[in-house]
Amino acid sequence: MINDETHLLYNAMCYEEGHSRRTQHILKVYALAKLLGEQEKLPVEEQQILQAAAILHDIAIKYCKEHYNGDASQDNQKQAVPLLVTRFLKEANYIPSYIPRIIDLVICHHDYDDIKNKLLQLLIEADLIVNCYETRPDRKKAEYIKGLFQTDGGKELLALCLKEEVK
């Protein structure tokens, strides 16, 4: 099967070896990226690229912790991404022309000052929403995050996430 997303997701989860936070983070970002992409009515190819990038967006964390004495800094992750992402995508039979685009999205998903295309925007929004649920930002950081959002669906989901709890 070409672009075997199920195989890709399964392999990414197995790679994490049961690490609870990273495994759950993959699943949540993947689900939100899928939702946001579908709301934006992306063409099939773009949706597949977005979903693959969402699955693999943090794949280098484990590798960096193991190979760089626990240092999973953004710089180290960016160095590890091309090899890791290529390996995962080839194992899942992704179309070769998709691979550079997915690598670029994974490398750039924390580059908030240079959001260069719609797929990167959607991936960043999905990741930030999940991050806000996982670690509530203070008011100042929440305002900064809100300013990064462009899609209506992303803005609405972020607002729900950041909504003050009723006591």
| Sign of the four-CA dihedral 152, 158, 161, 162 | negative
pLDDT tens digits along 55-70:
999 999 999 999 999 9
CATH number of the domain encompassing residue 29:
1.10.3210.10
8 A C-beta contact, residue 11 and residue 5 = no
pLDDT, tens digit, 9 for 90 and up, residues 107-152: 999 999 989 999 999 999 999 999 999 999 999 999 999 999 999 9
- In a domain? residue 116: yes
* Segments forming the whole domain that contains residue 143: 5-162
pLDDT of residue 154: 98
Assign 139 to helix, strand or coil.
helix
Q: Please tell me which residue, 163 or 8, carries the higher pLDDT value.
A: 8
> In this structure, is residue 102 part of a structural domain?
yes
**Mean of all residue pLDDT scores within the chain:** 95
Whether 167 maps to a domain, the answer reads: no
Assigned domain for 114 exists: yes
Angle at 87 between CA 81 and CA 91, to 5 degrees: 145
Report if residue 88 sits inside a domain: yes
Q: Would 141 be classed as within a structural domain?
A: yes
The pLDDT assigned to 3 comes to: 86
In a domain? residue 75: yes
Check whether 93 has a pLDDT greater than 60. Answer: yes
- Nearest partner of 155 among 142, 164, 165, 146, judged by Cα: 146
Residue 43, pLDDT above cutoff 90? yes
By percentage, how much of the chain surpasses pLDDT 70?
Answer: 98
| Residue 77 located in a structural domain | yes
Domains: count for the chain: 1
